[in-house]
Amino acid sequence: MSTVSYTLGNSKPLINREQNYVLDRRLLSIHSVDRDITKYPNANFFEIVLPEPMYNVQSLRIVQTTFPGRYYVFSNNYQNTKFNFSTVNHSSTPMTLLPIQEGIYTPNQLASELSNKMNETMANAGNTDGSFNVFYNEVSMKYYIGNTTTSFSLLFNQQVPYDVSCNNYSTNPVMWFQYANWGLPYNIGFNKAQYNSDSASSLNIDYLESCGCDATCGTSPNITQYVVAPLNAIIDGDTCIYMEVDKYNSYDEMYPYNKSSCHIYDNNAYNGKVNSAFAKIPIKGDVRDQDSRNVYLQNIVEYDPPIERIARLVFKFRFHDGRLVDFQNNNFDFTIEFNCLKNEILKRYTIRVPVTYQL
């Protein structure tokens, strides 16, 4: 037989009462245009004040997102629009490529842009050593950089400075020190090294033979010196965005590989950060509108004890390597779910449902 304890010495004993709570689901819709645009001109970092505070928050999650379908791959803020190069007659004076236009390129568009910018850079420097032609091999997915008259060097082992100003109280990391996405040469398939041109007399691209052209099919005039990228081009951009919510992150994340963090007896540098992000949002493919009922969004953050009060949220949108997302002027929106605990007196209802009702 169970026993019930009462408070002794009290003429009116109190009966023990269980604490009952009901889960109150609140949804907050946020658009990028809701921010204070004068204070936060860029949508990759901003703060909002909730319409009313949320109390006793037991869990948070993002339940819906609508983000732009495509993003800039090449940008001054991403530090991948320039590189250094020289020709044989001007080897003592390296030239810095005039920045390519920021945006998104197809492989052949980027080849044309590089050709034009390299020749324009030479003209501005008073260099008359022939002209450059850049070609993209659609089979090997590699870039060929050639010159019509002279040998040349691609100085991809030299760091190119970028003027990246403070961006909404947060700045991009110096990408040169990263293993990936360290500059324009990385995107077109090169390493951090100096590449000296070779003679193009033996250059042969098999898949172009059927058109009756030589190795420089599509370029005019023909090249005499060239350098071929050792690796495939990477110009498609990132596959996901990391969304941070200050104080409420739950994702643990590995840091990108960095040679400076390697140990003597370990060829790989594995380290990371706990509670680095709130959600991981895919951005590849045709899916722009995503919700928690599909496989795209799988985050939920639970708190024990519940958070007493949430009145404001600070958001940051970045890529895995720390670069802030360049949204340009594209708007986006998302919905956050607040699951709040409300104290209540337990009520037991007896409800009869008429047989004619179909619930």
The pLDDT of residue 79 is 95
Region for residue 102 given its phi and psi (left: phi exceeds 0; alpha: psi -120 to 50; beta: otherwise): beta
The pLDDT of residue 296 is 59
Distance CA 150, CA 118 (A): 14
Strands 198-199, 225-228: pairing is antiparallel
Contact 113, 101 (CB under 8 A): yes
Q: In Å, what is the CA distance from 58 to each residue of 67, 293, 331?
A: 27, 20, 30
Q: Which residue has the tokens 């420097």?
A: 125
Distance CA 90, CA 256 (A): 37
Element (H, E) at 115: helix 107-124
* pLDDT block averages, 10 residues each, the chain of length 359: 56 62 90 94 94 94 87 93 90 88 96 96 90 92 94 95 69 88 97 94 67 44 88 93 93 78 48 88 67 64 91 96 91 93 76 70
Distance CA 204, CA 208 (A): 9
DSSP assigned state of 187: H
Distance CA 317, CA 170 (A): 11
For residue 320, the cross-strand partners are: none
Q: Which of 315, 280, 81 is nearest to 175 (CA)?
A: 81
Both tokens assigned to 348: 């037991």
Both tokens assigned to 258: 């960095």
Q: Alpha-carbon torsion 185, 188, 191, 195, what sign?
A: negative
Contact 226, 146 (CB under 8 A): yes
3-state secondary structure of 11: coil
Please, is 316 exposed, middle or buried when counting C-beta atoms within 10 Å of its C-beta (0-12, 13-18, 19+)? Answer: buried
Distance CA 43, CA 54 (A): 24
Whether this model's pTM surpasses 0.75: yes
Both tokens assigned to 356: 């004619």
Q: What domains are there in the chain, each with its CATH number?
A: 20-71+238-344 (2.60.120), 84-228 (no CATH)
The pLDDT of residue 256 is 83
The pLDDT of residue 210 is 46
The pLDDT of residue 215 is 45
Element (H, E) at 108: helix 107-124
